[in-house]
Amino acid sequence: EPYDDCWLRYGEVDGASLPESYRTYCANVYASVGAPELGAVREELRRGIDGLLGREPHLWQHPPRSAEGFLAVGTPDEMEVVHDSVAVDAVDSLADGGFHLRTTEWEGCDVLVLTAPTDRGLVYGTFHLLRHLSLGRSVDDLDLFEEPANAERLVNHWDNPFRRSMERGYAGQSLFDFEALPNLDDRYVDYARLLASVGINGVVLNNVNTEIPDRESANPAMSELAGWRLLESRYLEDLTGLAALFRRYGIRTYLSVNFGAPEKVGDLETSDPTDERVERWWAEKADEVYDLIPDFGGFVVKADSEGQPGPYNYDADHVDGANVLARALEPHGGRVWWRAFVYGSHSDRAVQQYETFEPLDGEFHDNVTVQVKNGPIDFQPREPISPVFGQMPDTDLGLELQITGEYTGQHVHACYHVPMWKEVLEFDTDPEGHGKRVKELFSDPGTGLAGVGGPGADPNWTGHYLAQANLYGYGRLAWNPDLDTATITDEWVRQTFGHDPEVVETVTDVMHDSWPAVVDYTTGGLGLMHMMYNGEARLENHYDPNPEEWPGYHGASEDGIGVDRNARANGFAQQYPDALADRYDDPETCPEELLLFFHHLPWDHELDDGRTVVQTLYDNCFAGVELAETLRERWRSLDGRVDERRFRHVAERFDEQVVQAERWAETLTAFFYDHSGVPDELGRVPRDE
Ligand code: BDP
């Protein structure tokens, strides 16, 4: 089975309606040569234009003056035609990765100019142009400047080297065959193309869990963790070719490292960050890495969390831990991405991050990025925004989103994350204070987004064809968080499935309703957390319903449901700035979708529309199932309009999703009934035996 092209199908987009000017501008391409990135640019143009116009472009090494028109690709200082045709100052002042597209006339020829201050910008510009053409947009009078809003746009693989397994991966084996390196597989190039096409500029190759934790309830994937070994010299050497391959596409390579590396990889008897020998060890390791990979991005660290070692083992804190690594990377321009996902001492995980990290604001080294998950719990189907955002003004922050659907149906269920991410990005972190939205927090160098869960080795990359949209949408939002959901969906659908209006409308509707459906039947829609199976060490799955398992997360009892995370209890709501704290602290003003996250309320507590809490939970669970059925019907209506392979695959997934959604609703509603003793007004619960 060949690897799927995802949204880079080119040829499959309806060619008949292509504007004539596409041919005028794109049949001849004059592109500069030299930098490795330009090789990638020429290859992509050849492939893309061949697909779109039905003919490979003619590639020139000088301006093709005899042609009616041409596409010119290069930086202003490399190419005269570019220099003559654009405002050079405006181009030079674009952020790294930015580019400029312009149609103009030059010496009697129609010219489409693609230029950028850096070669990397030319790569992004190439993919942008091909997207523009694939979407059938006009190139007449083109005059467009684009630059990324966020400097750092990373994908974090949770891949376990040596076993080729993936933590929370639902698309087969790891994409990366570390053992076969330095041999490179063709799919790496295709993967780099997918990432670059949406503006990703960094890839973390391995799982943040780099060793087997010695705690009792470890998750099963952890039993095969040896990612720390990638810092051994022999493995580093093997990575150089892969890093060079990514470099052609403007992507820097990163590694997750183990905080205990000085002991594990080196032969020190401590990894104490305040010890001089440890300091030296990291500095020397960094020198070695940069000798091999000069543009290496940096280290990602999960420390003092879920059994991974960290500075706490040495009586030091997160600042000491992050800074010792940062000092080692600094001379080389590398960064430390230090994860804030720590918990342990609190019975309610929600309060931990802000409490741990906010006091450290301003103390991290310049090249440390503190990487914070969007919510305070853990990638649940819907959470409030982590109170860390907006409250650590003197720290470079990274927003960690989960691309993979760990808690949203694991790519058996369709769940489009873009609407959820938009909710996060548009959130005002301090409505009566600085008023910055989450998306406005990452404009400084060194800040940005980290998306967890890269594709696997399955030919469709993500296990579920529709889950490709989450990788696409993540990249697009990391580049430009102002894009709205509808725009991103439309781009993705058209490039992936073509322009048939019925297909576009149907797939769009399916995508937009998929997250609300999953939220409803897996949570009841009022802000309950962790209703899924967590399980014992080897069985943990986060997929099946099992609300009895973690009572602390939903607080169900005879008298009511929900968790008091407010002034009456652990004060979590008070971690937010006043305006938000007040809003969340009062059940009357707390947004309904988060109500039970912040409050334990009686089952018969009335909501705005007069329905009780328990009735609303019943209604939402069943509404979620109905919506899942609607998604399935909509998809089925595409029989014959979408190619057989993708049609069948997705149809089968929807069959399974509906079965699972029913199981979820049945389990949750029975659970609500068991605790409340209140039957459903519509007679659906308790179920007749
Ligand atoms: C949890 C995952 C676990 C990860 C952890 C993390 O279940 O596999 O190791 O997040 O982010 O959601 O470190």
How far, in Å, from the CA of 423 to the mean position of ligand 1?
Answer: 22
Same domain, 249 and 270: yes
Ligand 1 mutation pick, 158, 215, 258, 306, max ligand atoms within 8 A of CB:
306
Helix (H, G, I), strand (E, B) or coil at 150: coil
pLDDT at 216: 44
CATH number for 133: 3.30.379.10
pLDDT at 440: 98
Residues with CB under 6 A from ligand 1: 167-168, 208-209, 219, 302, 306, 341, 378-379, 406
How far, in Å, from the CA of 287 to the mean position of ligand 1?
Answer: 30
C-alpha–C-alpha distance, residues 105 and 90, integer Å? 19
Same domain, 64 and 101: yes
- Residue closest via CA to ligand 1's atom 11 equals 341
pLDDT at 225 over 90: no
Please state, rounded to an integer, the average pLDDT across all residues of the chain.
95
Query: Is 656 known to be catalytic?
Result: no
Same domain, 94 and 201: no
Cis peptide preceding 686, ω within 30 of 0 = yes
73's enclosing H/E stretch is strand 69-73
Instruction: Read off the tokens for 640.
Output: 């014959």
Q: What does the pLDDT look like over 270-293, one tens digit per residue?
A: 999 999 999 999 999 999 999 999
How far, in Å, from the CA of 223 to the mean position of ligand 1?
Answer: 14
- Can you give the pTM of this predicted structure? 0.97
| Domain-embedded: residue 687 | no
Please tell me the total count of domains within the chain: 3
- Could you tell me the residue range of the domain that residue 532 belongs to? 519-563+600-676
Residue 16 pLDDT class (50, 70, 90 cuts) = low
pLDDT at 658 over 80: yes
pLDDT at 655: 98
Angle at 155 between CA 149 and CA 159, to 5 degrees: 175
Same domain, 485 and 615: no
pLDDT at 539 over 50: no
Better pLDDT: 16 or 628: 628
How far, in Å, from the CA of 406 to the mean position of ligand 1?
Answer: 9
Q: What does the pLDDT look like over 429-444, one tens digit per residue?
A: 999 999 999 999 999 9
Residue 3 pLDDT class (50, 70, 90 cuts) = very high
pLDDT at 538: 41
pLDDT at 511: 98
615's enclosing H/E stretch is helix 613-636
Ligand 1 mutation pick, 168, 223, 540, max ligand atoms within 8 A of CB:
168
Same domain, 535 and 466: no
Q: What does the pLDDT look like over 151-209, one tens digit per residue?
A: 999 999 999 998 888 999 999 999 999 999 999 999 999 999 999 999 999 999 999 99
| Domain-embedded: residue 195 | yes
pLDDT at 217 over 50: no
| Domain-embedded: residue 196 | yes
Domain-terminating residue out of 146, 179, 200 = 146
Query: Is 306 known to be catalytic?
Result: yes
Instruction: Read off the tokens for 238.
Output: 């093997």
What phi, psi does 594 have (nearest 5°)? -120, 5
Quick one: what percent of the chain has pLDDT higher than 90? Answer: 90
From 378, 548, 549, 626, the catalytic residue:
378
Q: What does the pLDDT look like over 491-530, one tens digit per residue?
A: 999 999 999 999 999 999 999 999 999 999 999 999 999 9
C-alpha–C-alpha distance, residues 100 and 94, integer Å? 9
Cβ contact 294:334 at 8 Å: no
In 374-420, beta strands by DSSP E: 396-402
Q: What does the pLDDT look like over 235-266, one tens digit per residue?
A: 999 999 999 999 999 999 999 999 999 999 99
How far, in Å, from the CA of 147 to the mean position of ligand 1?
Answer: 32
- Percentage helix, strand, coil for the chain under 3-state DSSP, each rounded to 5: 40, 15, 45
C-alpha–C-alpha distance, residues 515 and 414, integer Å? 8
Instruction: Read off the tokens for 379.
Output: 């990638």
| Domain-embedded: residue 394 | yes
pLDDT at 689 over 90: no
User: Pairing relation of β-strands 152-156 and 202-204?
Assistant: parallel
pLDDT at 1: 80
Same domain, 340 and 464: yes
Instruction: Please compute Rg for the chain using Cα positions.
Output: 26
What is the average pLDDT across 575-592?
Answer: 98
Beta-bridge partner residues of 145 = 100
- For the chain, the residue count is 689
CA distances in angstroms from 7 to 350, 477, 497, listed in the order given: 37, 16, 8
Report the Cα 681 to chain-centroid distance in Å: 41
What is the average pLDDT across 8-35?
Answer: 83
What is the average pLDDT across 122-130?
Answer: 98
Same domain, 552 and 635: yes
pLDDT at 224: 61
How far, in Å, from the CA of 305 to the mean position of ligand 1?
Answer: 10
| Domain-embedded: residue 58 | yes
pLDDT at 371: 98
CATH number for 634: 3.90.1330.10
Cβ contact 439:490 at 8 Å: no
- Residue closest via CA to ligand 1's atom 6 equals 341
Same domain, 118 and 243: no
pLDDT at 226: 86
Q: What does the pLDDT look like over 326-341, one tens digit per residue?
A: 999 999 999 999 999 9
| Domain-embedded: residue 683 | no
Same domain, 53 and 121: yes
Ligand 1 atom, smallest distance to 540 CA: 7
Ligand 1 mutation pick, 206, 342, 378, 379, max ligand atoms within 8 A of CB:
378
5's enclosing H/E stretch is none
Domain-terminating residue out of 146, 179, 211 = 146
Same domain, 128 and 159: no
What is the average pLDDT across 387-403?
Answer: 98
| Domain-embedded: residue 682 | no
| Domain-embedded: residue 595 | no
Nearest residue to 449 (alpha-carbon basis) of 458, 459, 441 = 441
368's enclosing H/E stretch is strand 368-373
What phi, psi does 576 have (nearest 5°)? -85, 160
C-alpha–C-alpha distance, residues 597 and 46, integer Å? 52
Ligand 1 atom, smallest distance to 305 CA: 13
Instruction: Read off the tokens for 636.
Output: 């089925």
Q: What is the largest CA-CA distance in the chain?
A: 83
pLDDT at 223: 52
Same domain, 210 and 80: no
Q: What does the pLDDT look like over 78-96, one tens digit per residue?
A: 999 999 999 999 999 999 9
Ligand 1 atom, smallest distance to 407 CA: 12
Same domain, 266 and 118: no
pLDDT at 647: 98
In 147-233, beta strands by DSSP E: 152-156, 159-160, 165-166, 202-204
